[in-house]
Amino acid sequence: MLEVVQVPVLSDNYVYLVHDAASGETAVVDPAVAEPVLEAAAARGWRITQILNTHWHPDHVGANAAIKAATGCTITGPAGEESKIPGIDRAVREGDTVAIGAETGRVIDVPGHTAGHNAYHFASSGLLFCGDTLFAMGCGRLFEGTPEQMVGSLGKLMALPDDTLVYCAHEYTASNGRFALTVEPDNAALQARMAEVVAAREVGRPTVPSTIGLERATNPFTRAADVADFAARRAAKDSFPG
């Protein structure tokens, strides 16, 4: 089983250390900054052997060069975004796999937030690293893709098992939940989840990871009736005050 350590950085980013005890391998997912990530690994005696990037935005690749220089790790990122990913060694797309020790992760193409956005699914440990595609009760903004693409991308992720842990890259849950309640004010699962989220944030606890099952029950973007309904919700969220 892979062990995940969540490192909160910047105002609301999460960087993940993913460790395989048997091999001693440690992957870093979406390193925005280097120092706290290197410290979290060192504190555990873990050696960083690779970086997995979900997409090219600076808050996901910002520390690629520094961590590679410090550790000699390799860098894997999405095909099509190679030119914007510092230090990339291997470009992957759907159909490719990545490995952390003996555990294999499947690459899933999830365009929408960016054109080449990847998600990484480690089925044996039940982990999904989805960057800025699926958030707890939300989804990424459509900077380089269409509503149709994002609906397809979210559909691929929602096909994963309900108990899959969803490790997204931002703590946006409280704002997402406030918006979700405007869409589905009578959704009891959503009301209950939001109460838990508010309590967690009051004491500074993370609300991530989520699960696919929770997103199926409470996320207004995975619950849209069709592409037009999704697009209307996404547009409304874009101008939602928070």
Return the amino acid letter for 231: A
Q: Which stretch binds Zn ion (CB under 5 A): 3-11, 56-64, 157-165, 222-230?
A: 56-64
> Tokens 């592409």 belong to which residue?
227
59 is a contact residue toward Fe ion (CB under 5 A): yes
Residue 109 binding partner per list Zn ion, Fe ion, none, with a CB distance cut-off of 5 to 8 Å that depends on partner kind: none
Exactly one of 132, 147, 166, 173 binds Zn ion (CB under 5 A); that residue is 132
Per the CB < 8 A criterion, the answer to whether 167 and 128 are in contact is yes
- Rounded least distance, CB 169 to Fe ion, Å: 5
The number of residues that bind Zn ion (CB under 5 A) is: 2
170 is a contact residue toward Zn ion (CB under 5 A): no
List residues bridging with 121 in a β-sheet.
106, 128
**Given the complex with Zn ion, which of 57 and 223 has the nearer CB atom?**
57
Selection from 128, 142, 152 nearest residue 213 by Cα: 128
Exactly one of 81, 103, 132, 171 binds Fe ion (CB under 5 A); that residue is 132
> Tokens 């960083």 belong to which residue?
48
Of the residues 19, 20, 30, 59, which is catalytic? 59
57 is a contact residue toward Zn ion (CB under 5 A): yes
Q: How far apart are CA 63 and CA 78, in angstroms?
A: 16
Active site residue 117: no
Alpha carbon distances (Å) from 23 to 8, 48, 51, 241: 26, 12, 16, 46
Instruction: Name the site residues for Fe ion (rule: CB under 5 A).
Output: 59, 132
